[in-house]
Amino acid sequence: MSDETRRRSHTGRVVACLVAGCALVVLLALLSLAIGSKNLSIGEVWSGLLAGDGSRESIIVWQLRMPRTVLAMLAGTALAVSGVLMQALTRNPLAEPGLLGVNAGAAFAVVIAISVFGAARSGDYLWAAFAGAGLASVFVYLISVRRTRASDHARLVLAGVALTATLGACTRIITLFDATAFDSYRFWVIGSVADRGIDVVMSVLPFIAAGLIVALLLGPSLNALALGDDQAVALGVPVAALRILVIATITLLCGATTAAAGPIAFVGLVVPHVLRLVVGVDQRAILGLSALVGPSLLLAADVIGRVVSQPSELEVGVVTAFIGAPVLIALLLRRRPA
């Protein structure tokens, strides 16, 4: 097989995955609109979508299920893409914003904003979430720079877990201190896309969209970075500026997601790994596809959470933890001991 045919078959596979991914997202979004405590048929969803009047179906579809469906898609995209970015930045296949404490940093900052500065609306504490996520990303990056040997991949995860534990403990001290903060916090901390109004969704939409566009544009530079700093410089990539841009993008994506949906872990770990198995190591393909597979995963997790424990619901963060932790175990155990 010549290089040309191989490249063409790879491109064909990526295109096929893109089409399949789009179809999957649309299908799961329709399911997410249809399934719940009152199940609708696809026909009812369709008429509810089109009608937009005061009919029963259109109220269920537009007011109850549309915000959470859109938020699940946004959060899934943001988390999966930031997982790809973080793995490229730290050159560590186990890096993930949820595990490494970026979401915990955002959560801690949000709780500080709520209880100390009295922020009440999600628009107010969005900025706190950005600050927390940004500081935690910088910290994680600094740790990963100090330890770049291959055997230290697990150590970065451990340091991230410790950072998450520390920030979590501080967060909990504050929420225990403050009973009203605790009551809303205990629902928010699990990570859920339910009961978020359309205003919350709209307030984070521009940030996630901006982060996504920047991330997709970074693909070629990240491919160069994967070759090592020297090679990347030789190829004309401004490495330091690229790193700052990547950290800023992770901050935008994770901060906005955490402010809206709470800390959700494991999406950023699972999606890039599955994609690397399917389409190889090209960052452009992985970034583009993770923007489709991430929302699919989160939509699926949200729908599963609505189905398995009826009449109540399982939060999406619980479901992703149960999907993601076995994947993490499998990844860890497959590697040879250092």
Min. distance of Cβ 159 from another protein in angstroms?
A: 4
Nearer to another protein, 21 or 262 (CB): 262
Calculate Rg over the CA atoms of the chain: 20
Residue 209 or 331: the one with the smaller Cβ distance to another protein is 331
Q: How remote is the C-alpha of 211 from its chain's centroid?
A: 12
CA–CA dist 17, 26 (Å, integer): 14
If the CB atoms of residues 282 and 315 are measured against another protein, the closer one turns out to be: 315
Instruction: Return the structure tokens found at 269.
Output: 């770990």
Instruction: Report, in Å, the least distance between residue 114 CB and another protein.
Output: 17
The angle, 0 to 180 degrees and rounded to 10, between the axes of the packed helices 198-225 and 122-146 is 20
Report in angstroms how near the CB of residue 82 gets to another protein at its nearest. 18
Rounded least distance, CB 245 to another protein, Å = 24
CB 34 within 8 A of CB 41: yes
Q: Which two tokens stand for residue 92?
A: 């560590």
Alpha carbon distance 51, 106 (integer Å): 39
Alpha helix (H) ranges present in 91-197? 102-115, 122-146, 153-177, 179-188
In angstroms, what is the minimal distance from the CB of 164 to another protein? 8
Nearer to another protein, 157 or 285 (CB): 157
108 near 167, Cβ under 8 Å?
yes
Binding site for another protein (CB under 8 A): 99, 143, 146-147, 154-159, 161-163, 165-166, 168-170, 172-173, 176-177, 179, 182-183, 186-187, 189-190, 265-266, 312, 314-315, 317-318, 321-322, 324-326, 328-329, 332-333, 337-338
Q: Which is nearer to another protein, 91 or 155 (CB)?
A: 155
